[in-house]
């Protein structure tokens, strides 16, 4: 805990058997109260390994629902466990778990409502192994999003995020996409509700066992991201989108 705030780390997993234990071992156990793994119907030993290394809270999907659906299960379970700070960390070790104390502190002390671990702040993205095309794709999309949404984030596409409980209770994330564009939809909703978002530099670490979507899915994701940005842009001028309904 920090300032009596319960900290829960959620791990949305799919075929993470090779990196799960390494990720879990680097989560600061003296600060994190609970760890949740949600498995999106992996075909490897992810769940078996999760049990072996001592992860108590495991949610298993009976079919493959998608990355967004996996996050929905993560967050709902964390809220059920009465978490005050919820940190989403990919279990493929792309992101350093040792940043959890810093990210948690920024929320626990009321500096920000949401904190993102950005691979783009600093100069380590390509050095850390991010493919050139992904880096360029990331920069182009982020520029478009900042213009359309009137923001100044360095990156919208990180899989390392910390949320206060109040944010997840205020956002109807269950209505969002079950696919990868979920990440951008929830950020758009957070901006719309005027929650504060901070960023912390997170070294990129791409290895052969790190998860990655292929080029075709990347293109589909990019189109979805631009679509979310336009929905936000038009919403600001009174053209309603169901993405922001009930907010």
Strands (E), the chain: 7-13, 34-39, 57-60, 85-89, 114-118, 160-164, 197-201
Among the residue ranges 21-35, 61-75, 115-129, 208-222, the one predicted with the least confidence is: 208-222
Question: Whole-number mean pLDDT of the chain?
Answer: 94
pLDDT, tens digit (0-9, with 9 covering 90-100), for 152-174: 999 999 999 999 999 999 999 99
C-alpha dihedral sign at 118, 168, 196, 31: negative
Check residue 60 and give its pLDDT.
98
Among the residue ranges 10-14, 63-67, 135-139, 215-219, the one predicted with the least confidence is: 215-219
Domain tally, the chain:
1
pLDDT score of 14 more than 90: yes
pLDDT score of 215 more than 90: no
Q: How confident is the model at residue 83 (pLDDT cuts 50, 70, 90)?
A: very high
Q: For position 89, which CATH number holds?
A: 3.90.550.10
Check residue 208 and give its pLDDT.
67
In a domain, 21, yes or no: yes
Beta strand 197-201 with 114-118: parallel, antiparallel or unpaired?
parallel
Q: Are 9 and 27 in contact (CB under 8 A)?
A: yes
pLDDT, tens digit (0-9, with 9 covering 90-100), for 172-214: 999 999 999 999 999 999 999 999 999 999 987 877 666 667 7
In a domain, 186, yes or no: no
CA 216 to each of CA 92, 213, 221, 222: distance values in angstroms, whole numbers, following the listed order: 21, 8, 9, 10
In a domain, 180, yes or no: no
pLDDT score of 244 more than 80: yes
In a domain, 188, yes or no: no
Domain span at residue 18 reads 7-130+155-175+197-212
Average pLDDT, integer, range 3-12: 97
pLDDT score of 221 more than 80: yes
Q: What share of the chain is helix, strand, coil (3-state, %, to 5)?
A: 40, 15, 45
Average pLDDT, integer, range 135-156: 96
In a domain, 104, yes or no: yes
In a domain, 240, yes or no: no
Check residue 209 and give its pLDDT.
63
pLDDT score of 37 more than 90: yes
Q: What angle (nearest 5°) sits at the alpha carbon of residue 154, between those of residues 151 and 156?
A: 75
pLDDT score of 235 more than 90: yes
In a domain, 101, yes or no: yes
The arrangement of strands across the sheet holding 160-164 comes to: 57-60, 34-39, 7-13, 85-89, 160-164, 114-118, 197-201
Average pLDDT, integer, range 90-108: 96
């Amino acid at each position: 805990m920090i300032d009596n705030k319960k900290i829960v780390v959620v791990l949305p997993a799919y075929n993470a058997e090779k990196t799960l234990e390494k990720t879990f071992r680097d989560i600061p156990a003296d600060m994190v109260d609970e760890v949740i793994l949600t498995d999106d119907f992996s075909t490897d030993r992810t769940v078996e390994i999760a049990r072996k290394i001592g992860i108590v809270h495991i949610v298993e999907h009976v079919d493959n629902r998608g990355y967004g659906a996996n996050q929905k299960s993560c967050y709902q379970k964390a809220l059920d466990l009465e978490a005050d700070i919820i940190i989403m960390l990919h279990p493929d070790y792309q992101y350093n778990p040792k940043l959890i104390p810093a990210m948690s502190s920024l929320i626990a002390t009321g500096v920000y409502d949401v904190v993102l671990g950005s691979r783009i702040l600093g100069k380590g993205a390509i050095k850390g192994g991010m493919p050139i095309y992904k880096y360029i794709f990331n920069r182009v999309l982020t520029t478009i999003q900042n213009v359309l949404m009137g923001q100044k984030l360095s990156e919208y596409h990180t899989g390392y995020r910390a949320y206060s409980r109040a944010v997840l209770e205020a956002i109807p994330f269950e209505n969002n996409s079950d696919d990868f564009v979920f990440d951008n939809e929830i950020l758009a909703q957070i901006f719309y509700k005027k929650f504060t978002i901070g960023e912390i530099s997170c070294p990129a670490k791409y290895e052969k066992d790190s998860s990655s979507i292929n080029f075709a899915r990347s293109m589909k994701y990019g189109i979805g991201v631009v679509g979310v940005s336009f929905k936000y842009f038009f919403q600001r001028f009174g053209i309603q989108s169901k993405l922001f309904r009930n907010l």
